[in-house]
Amino acid sequence: MSAMDATALYRIAESYDHWFQRRYVQGKLATDPAYAAVADLMALRPMPLLDIGCGIGLLGQYLHARGVLPQYLGVDHDARKIDAGRRAMRLAGLETTLPLRLADGATAYPLRGHVAILDVLHYLSAERQRELLANAAAHLAPGGMLIVRNVLRERSWRYAATRVSEFFLSTSGWMRIGAQHYPSADELRALLEAAGLHVTIRSLHGRTPFDCYLIVGEKPV
């Protein structure tokens, strides 16, 4: 499964009705390797996807355009982002295909398959991270993957740069809640293995200066 061409990425960005969101989407799709990484994983084993912390629904749009998304539900607690995402889905004709719901990661959903949690964990306390990951693992189908992208606590210049970036995201108002707890790789591995998942962790810095990793917990078949 090859990556999308520039025209397809442009169409996704143009579905958002605010100039700032369009610029944001264009930048994310051009530089952030997380979307292609999730698509490549899902192409290996297509299943429904529960996207926890979906924001404006960008991951759903990308995966749908890549043709690797049999069913999708995006959830987020931020009403502003859900409203923006729903408007984009309507404009793209994907409102029923890619539903977005105002909810949090502690809710139970009928969907079973893969679960994605991208750039969410560090905005939660350590206790709420444990609760979220446990709920996410409960939504995995046999063979399903819990796909987490997050900054991990470590000694590196990338980690320091990420913390500075998070400070400005919070003070700008884009993120209503600042970072609460940066988990370490060992911390996440222990939590996911305790849930019975096989865990792999690899760097996913891409062309960014930021600290980020792809953590995948796979449920046995």
- Chain segment 95-106, per-residue pLDDT in tens: 999 999 999 878
**Among 2-16, 33-47, 56-70, where is mean pLDDT lowest?**
2-16
pLDDT in tens, 160-181: 888 887 766 666 555 567 789 9
Kindly list the structural domains of the chain, giving each domain's residue range(s) and its CATH number in brackets, ordered by start. 6-218 (3.40.50.150)
pLDDT in tens, 124-142: 999 999 999 999 999 999 9
pLDDT of residue 116: 98
**Among 28-42, 67-81, 201-215, where is mean pLDDT lowest?**
201-215
- Check pLDDT > 60 for residue 194: yes
- Check pLDDT > 90 for residue 148: yes
**Among 33-47, 97-111, 156-170, where is mean pLDDT lowest?**
156-170
**Which residues in 59-83 are b (16+ Cβ under 10 Å) and which e?**
bbbbbbbbebbeebbbbbbbeebbe
